[in-house]
Amino acid sequence: MSLNLEEINKELQGKSPEEIISWAITVGVNPVITTNFRPYEVAILNAVTKVKKDIKVIWCDTGYNTVQTYKHAEEIIQKLKLNVKLYTPKQTVAHRNVVLGVPSIEDPKHAIFTEQVKLEPFSRAMAEHKPDVWFTNLRKGQTAFRDSIDIVSKSKDGVLKVSPFYNWSDAQLDAYLEAQKLPNEFVYFDPTKVEGNRECGLHI
């Protein structure tokens, strides 16, 4: 889709997440939202499903989530009646622990690990669903890369990437979740990142 991103981002500055989502739904034909049920993900899941209840929710589960994250995911799936499309790595955690383990960031094998548990399932999901609009909860201040984009950007595959809460702070999201009576969960583990301010690889 051919859109002037600079003009669009100017127009969307100051708009509410609901207004941004409604705009994106009108320009897209096959929107999806991706989630990993990390902290604050429930905000975008709630906001997007309020506008489009049956939107496909792509969950790429690495297999390394905490017990708390899995319980939180189940609660949110039921509460918001999410249309979840689950994608997992082709190799089980038990098998990978024997042949590869969880390599440190400095280990050359870390790239193979990231490809197996995150990038390949994500690529498979996007290839199967072929979205033209992709809702994600990227926010300014999370990583240097995320500071360089805006509310609306394009993925390397040309998919329109929409981040309705891009300019929101944690405090604003806390207030939103409280107002919406939504739970949050902070006990979360991403085996491909380790450091909280490290880019996960899906968005670059």
Q: How does DSSP classify residue 190?
A: -
Alpha-carbon distance of 52 to 140, in angstroms, equals: 25
- Among residues 113, 109, 133, 110, the alpha carbon closest in space to that of 121 is found at 113
74-94 burial, b if ≥16 CB within 10 A, otherwise e?
eebbeebebbbeebebeeeee
- Ranges of beta strands (E only) in the chain are 31-35, 56-60, 83-87, 133-135, 152-154, 160-162
Alpha-carbon distance of 12 to 24, in angstroms, equals: 11
Question: Which residues, other chains included, contact 196 with Cβ-Cβ below 8 Å and sequence gap of 6+?
Answer: none
- Supply the pLDDT for residue 149: 80
Task: Sketch out the chain's domains with CATH numbers.
Answer: 5-180 (3.40.50.620)
10-residue mean pLDDT series, the chain (204 residues): 86 95 96 96 98 97 96 98 98 96 93 96 97 94 70 92 95 97 94 61 53
Rounded to 5 degrees, what are φ and ψ at 122? -65, -45
- Supply the pLDDT for residue 194: 61
Region of 112 on the Ramachandran plot (φ > 0 left; ψ -120 to 50 alpha; else beta): alpha
Alpha-carbon distance of 164 to 170, in angstroms, equals: 14
Q: Which residues share a beta bridge with 161?
A: 134, 153
Q: Which residues share a beta bridge with 87?
A: 60
Question: Which residues, other chains included, contact 172 with Cβ-Cβ below 8 Å and sequence gap of 6+?
Answer: none
What amino acid occupies position 154? K
- Supply the pLDDT for residue 141: 72
- Supply the pLDDT for residue 197: 46
- Supply the pLDDT for residue 199: 42
- Supply the pLDDT for residue 201: 54
